Amino acid sequence: MSHPEYERNVFINCPFDSEYAPLFEAIVFAVQDAGFRPKCARERLDSSQIRLQKIAGLISACRYSIHDLSRTALDDVNLLPRFNMPLELGVDLGCKWFSADHSGKSLLIFDSEQYRFQKFVSDLSGQDIHQHGNDARVAVTRVRDWIRTESGSNTIPGGAAIYRRYEDFRAELKGICATLHLDVAELTFADFSNVVSVWLESHA
């Protein structure tokens, strides 16, 4: 595989709104605590790059992907669904199926309720879709179990242990941000991910 860190990269395809932030941040922490590196479209701020190209590049660089379809719902203004997440899932599935180099890819697909996806992407029927019920603790456990199974690594701690550590991290995050003269909500993805890495390093 051309990307040097392919085996350890995890692409996260999810909404980036503030309502989803608690789930997103817990997932990012779980991925890092398991010894993998989260990657998402938010890590690159280069406006000269076409968004879908940027996403395709990330998908190609990651053996693992988490796709969360739970926010595929009609928006209040346009009464149309947000379809970026299913589109990116489609790109990832295409990558896995049509590229021999990527045939070993592993995907974790989330939705809010069981079988809900069949109403808007019925072609996904037959795939194993997981639910997190908008609960960060459940999301962390599902992510941990999936990475553990798919990577074959038997030394990743249990979901409960990772979540406990995540709670400890959250308890200190506000103070860390205050020392840096930043608001928690102002952290960019790379900043947040760096803080997680340093925190894990300090609590090893």
Partner 1 sequence: MTAQSKTSQAKEQKSGVVARRTPPRRGPNAPVILFPTERSTIGLKKIRAAVKAVIAERKAAESQSSARKKQ
| Contact set with partner 1 (CB under 8 A) | 4-5, 7-8, 32-39, 43-44, 151-153, 155-157, 172, 175-177, 179-180, 182, 188-191, 193-195, 197-204
Minimum distance from residue 46 beta carbon to partner 1 (Å): 10
Neighbours of 84 (CB within 10 A): 18
Minimum distance from residue 39 beta carbon to partner 1 (Å): 8
Rounded distance, CA 71 to CA 83, Å? 9
Q: Is the CB of residue 53 less than 8 Å from the CB of residue 41?
A: no
Give the bridge partners for 64, in sequence order: 10, 106
Minimum distance from residue 127 beta carbon to partner 1 (Å): 24
Minimum distance from residue 120 beta carbon to partner 1 (Å): 32
Question: Which residues lie below 8 Å from residue 85, measured CB to CB, with a gap of 6+?
Answer: 13, 14, 15, 67, 68, 69, 71, 72
